[in-house]
Structure formats: structure tokens, C-alpha cells
Chain A
Amino acid sequence: MKYLDEFADPVLAGRLIEQIKARATRQWTLMEVCGGQTHSIIRNGIDILLRGAVEFIHGPGCPVCVTPLEMIDRSLEIAARPEVIFCSFGDMLRVPGSGRDLFQVKAAGGDVRVVYSPLDAVRIAAENPGREVVFFGVGFETTAPANAMAVVAARQRGLRNFSMLVSHVRVPPAITAVMESPRCRVEGFLAAGHVCTVMGTDEYGPLVERFGVPIVVTGFEPLDLLEGVRQTVELLEAGTPALRNAYPRAVSAAGNPAAQHVLADVFEVCDRKWRGIGDIPASGWRLADAWADLDASRRFAVDDLVVEESPDCRAGDVLQGHLKPSQCPAFGTLCTPRTPLGATMVSSEGACAAYYAFRRLEVPASA
């Protein structure tokens, strides 16, 4: 088998695949929540190797993909101002807003800078006291602690020219939204390992109970994913939905208390619109009142932008698992990584980009 040879440990991978197939009495539908996992699954052909035992539905776990269009347009407005140095993680630059993207703002003379850490943006603010430095704070629970600390550092250093455009999202409410959709076909979840390094696994227990689905915390390597799938299929076959941690070398039940502490201080939970999906209650974080002076959307009065999505893009269906990327009529024709219609084609973790990069054009019979 072509794919099997490509695993770091093909013997172990083969054994796990055999075990999963031997245990599965039918094809189970699993959602991998995280876009990094989607890429690993598609890249390594895990979906093909497990066909018949497992169908993967790709989840909404890509922060670049789900950042609402309003927020992208706000970032573009702010970044285009002459007094602003706009700092962002690199993969936000090509996400299409209503008319353009951050790269185009940069090409037109905007001072848009890619940083690797939000602390870089704080440093830039300290070095440029005459400019307004704005950081685009996106991401799940993995990224939020870094951004929270940047806000704290800016205040500690007395910087008046630093602010953050905050659009953080949280995973457990997204799982709830997926399960509550009347079109939901998900029977088990592979939860994103790195999100859980911060929050721990405790938040997931109530979801298992409420929806009767197994949730297995899983890493990103092919063998980690296979082990996560093995445990999920095991639980499904036994009819005993439970929470399991298949990534114990990086994840504990309690997570990282120091990070949680700063998060709780700087952010408060809010309702958030997800691009392509719509409003999900309690699914976001915004700056808490005590930090409102560092909120870029207030500082630059861009709170009320109204926007429109491309009518050709089906990213919402892709993100909720109703559609495989290759089933979108625009996939690979109107929409490519060079001419993306939706963020899922732009992000290095987006499902459409994964299908495009690995030439996954065929549609599994069961989808």
C-alpha cells in the first residue's frame, strides 16, 4: 500500500490500522476538530487507509478560517491607516475580506508586519512611540494565552500606542454547535491536543455526557491520530461514550494553570460569529472591561462594519462537516490558493487547502 510505506513506523501504523478495521463492525463518522489534524490525515492518506471503518469529517478547528469577515474587514480598515503599524501572524495576510486582503493593503503602502509572537508587536510599539501599533489577536485556546500576555506586557510597560483587535474563539462551544445542528452526522470527536495543553481536558467531560459522544484528545502525528481513532472506535463499538486522553505526553486534565489565570484576567467570554457558520453563543473571548482601553476596535471606531460573503463559497458547509471541499462547485476552478474565495482555501490548516495541496479530488462514496 502506497501510503503505509510513508509512515515513520509503517509496522506500528499497519498494526493500528488492522486493529481499527478488525474492531469496526460498520463505518463510523468521526470529526477531527483541528485543522492541523485534517492536514495530517489527508497528507498521510489516513482517510483512505481507514475507509470502511471510519469516515472523517473535517471540523471547524482553524482559527484563520473561522475569523468572521467583519473582523477581517476591521483589520483592513485599521491596517490602511497611515499612523498604524499593523502586526499579525503570517497566515492572516491572505484571508480575503469583502474586497481585498492584508497583503493588498501592504502592497498599497500600509505598514503591515508579520510577527511570530505577539510580544514582537509589543516590542515594535516600544520602538515606535510615534505610531499606533495594532496586533491582530486571533486563535483558539492555544494562542489566546500568548495574546493575553502581550496585553499585560503592554500595560506594564506603560505603552499607550499598543492595542489589539481581538477575535478569539473557543473549542467546546464549537463542538456544541456541531452536535446541535440538525444535519450533524458526527459520532465521535478527535479533540485537538494543543488546545488542551492550555485548558486541560476537564471541559470536555460535560460534552460527552450531554451528547453521548466519545471525545478522544489526540495529537497530530500520524501514529497519534491512529491511536486516537483506535480509542474512539473502541468506545463506539462498546457503546460507552467517554472522554479519553490519547496524547498524555503533552496534555493533562488540568492544563496549564498559569496560562488559564492570565486568560481569566484579560479576557471574558462573549458570543462570537464564526465565518461561514454564524453566531455561536459563548464561543469567543474579548478583552474584559478592565482592558478595554487596549481594544483596537474601539480605539479606531470600526465596530459597526457591515459585510457580505462571496455567494459561491461553501466554507460554512465544509467547516460544519456537511460538505467535503472537493464537493464545492468552486473548488479548484474559481477557487484556488492563488485566487481563494474563502478562508478555508487560504489557511495552511484549512480543509480546502489540504484537499487542494494533496490533490484530493475524488469524493468518497459514502460522503
Chain B
Amino acid sequence: MCLGIPGKIVRLWDDQGTRMADVDFGGAVKDVCLAYLPEAGLGHYTIVHAGFGLTLLDEESAVETLAMFRELGMLEDELGIPSASGAVPA
């Protein structure tokens, strides 16, 4: 649960004074809080953990990292996409 997943900021919005964004993780789009990244803008890549952007990074590293996490099956945990009823490695 401790990994951060990189994604691309595709929309910015405001939730009662808190800066929020839609972030695209290679297809899955999630709300992300940008309170800790005042410098983040549209099109930037950020490492997201527990729904918060924590740091910016460049596109190339973001895409590479995302591909690896997908391959490792780590996206499910981090993005909260529910797994099939408590699925565990067989």
C-alpha cells in the first residue's frame, strides 16, 4: 500500500477550496488532491499515493513506471480498484 503510482493530470477542479485533479493512470481516471503540489498543472505527471499527488516527474519516467507497476499487478492496491472477492496469489 505504500507505492506511489504516476499519472497524468487531465483536469483541474476545486472542492470547497481544495485543489483537486482528475489523474489518468493509463486508462483509469481517479480524483487526486493537489494540496501538496501547488506547482502542478494540466498535463503534468505526478506520483500519486492514497489519492494525493506527492511529487512531479517527467513523462518518460512516468510511463515506464506505470508499465512496470501494471506488470507487477500493483495497480489494483494503489488505485483501489476492487479485486475479485479477496483474490490472493494462488
Contact = CB atoms under 8 A, between A and B. Distances in A.
Interface of A: 8, 34-36, 39-40, 43, 61-64, 89-94, 103, 114-120, 138-140, 142-143, 145-147, 149, 153, 156-157, 192, 194-195, 197-198, 219-222, 249-252, 256, 258-259, 262, 337-338, 347-349, 353, 356-357
Contacts of B72: 39-40, 43
Contacts of A118: 50-51
B51 A146 contact: yes
12 contacts: A36-B2, A90-B82, A142-B50, A149-B52, A194-B2, A194-B49, A197-B4, A220-B65, A221-B64, A249-B57, A251-B55, A262-B36
Interface in B50-90: 50-52, 54-55, 57-58, 61, 64-65, 67-69, 72, 74, 77-80, 82-83, 86, 88-89
B42 interface: no
A250 B1 contact: no
A356 B2 contact: no
A353 B89 CA distance: 8
B68 A221 contact: yes
B36 A256 contact: yes
Contacts of B10: none
B36 A117 contact: no
Please name the 8 residue pairs, one residue from A and one from B, whose CB atoms are nearest each other, closest first: A117-B51, A116-B80, A146-B50, A337-B88, A357-B89, A197-B55, A146-B52, A259-B36
Among A62, A139, A149, A195, chain B packs the most CB atoms within 10 A around the CB of A149
A115 B80 contact: yes
A92 B3 CA distance: 15
Given A147-B50, A259-B52, 11 more contacts: A34-B2, A36-B3, A39-B72, A89-B50, A90-B80, A116-B51, A143-B50, A194-B49, A220-B68, A256-B55, A349-B2
A220 B49 CA distance: 14
Given A149-B35, A220-B65, A347-B1, A119 B82 contact: no
Contacts of B57: 249-250
B31 interface: yes
Given A8-B67, A117-B51, A259-B54, A349 B36 contact: no
**Which of B37, B69, B80 has the largest number of chain A CB atoms within 10 A?**
B80
A91 B33 CA distance: 21
A91 B54 contact: no
B50 A221 contact: no
Contacts of B37: 256, 258
Nearest to A354: B89
